[in-house]
Each structure stands twice: as C-alpha cells, then as structure tokens.
Amino acid sequence: MGRQWHFEVDGDDFYIDLLFFNWVHSRFVVVELKTGKFAPEYAGQLGFYVAWVEDNLRRADLHAETVGILLCGDRNDRVVRYSLAGSAAPLAVATYDALPPSIQDVVPSTDELAEALRGDADLIA
C-alpha cells in the first residue's frame, strides 16, 4: 500500500515504514525497519501502529487481524520474548539475515537502510 504511510492521531504525526495488504489472507501487514539491534521500545511502536491500522483501516467483517513485523539488524531472543509477552496482537521480530532469500530481495538491506538514514531518508524516519 505504501512506504512511510502517514497518519495522524489528534494532531501528532506518525509514519509506518511499510504498509502492505495481503490479498490471499485479506489482512494488513505493518512492517517496521530498524538498522540496529532490537530494543524493547520498538515493540511498543509496532504495537501502536498495528492498533491504529486495526481501528482505522481494517474492517472486521472483511479483513483478518492485522500483523506486525519488525525487521532489525540484530536481536536478543530473550529481550524480544519479554517485549512481546504482553501483546495480544500478532507481532514478530526478525533479523534481515534470517529472512528467506526471496524476501531479502524485496526489502532494503541493512546497508541501504543505514544510507537512507544518513542521506535523503525518505525510506524510514
């Protein structure tokens, strides 16, 4: 559906890195991209974005539950587990190198993300 998907909550601006709609499963997929190691606050950000999509884009009579995926450069599995433990939403955290090659080909590499952050930065905020 787009990258840097803009939405507003009571005058505050937010941007979802990548927003997809999976036609086969009839669900929205929120993807957040981080270049460094996973931090617990990333789970909160992803959960916030998923909750917004659930309330504002998803139609319960037509669409399956929204999925959130966070791609990061590295992660500590125990930190991820504790960070996601309280969430009822379907959220996942993966590192770029753990993705299947077919998926790695369609998402920006960690080098490309780092370059976007240094340069024009229209890919992620």
pLDDT value, residue 100 = 60
Architecture of domain 2-118 in CATH? 3-Layer(aba) Sandwich (3.40)
Residue 65 pLDDT level (bands cut at 50, 70, 90)? confident
Compare 13 and 73 and report the one with higher pLDDT. 13
Domain spans of the chain, in order of start: 2-118
Q: Please give the pLDDT value at position 114.
A: 62
Contact 21, 27 (CB under 8 A): yes
Average pLDDT over residues 81-99: 81
Q: Is the pLDDT of residue 124 over 80?
A: no
pLDDT category of residue 35 using cuts at 50, 70 and 90: confident
SS (H, E, C) the chain: CEEEEEEEECCEEEEEEEEEEECCCCEEEEEEECCCECCHHHHHHHHHHHHHHHHHCCCCCCCCCCEEEEEECECCHHHHHHHHCCCCCCEEEEEHHHCCHHHHCCCCCHHHHHHHHHCCCCCCC
Q: pLDDT higher for 29 or 123?
A: 29
Q: Is it the case that residue 91 has pLDDT exceeding 70?
A: yes
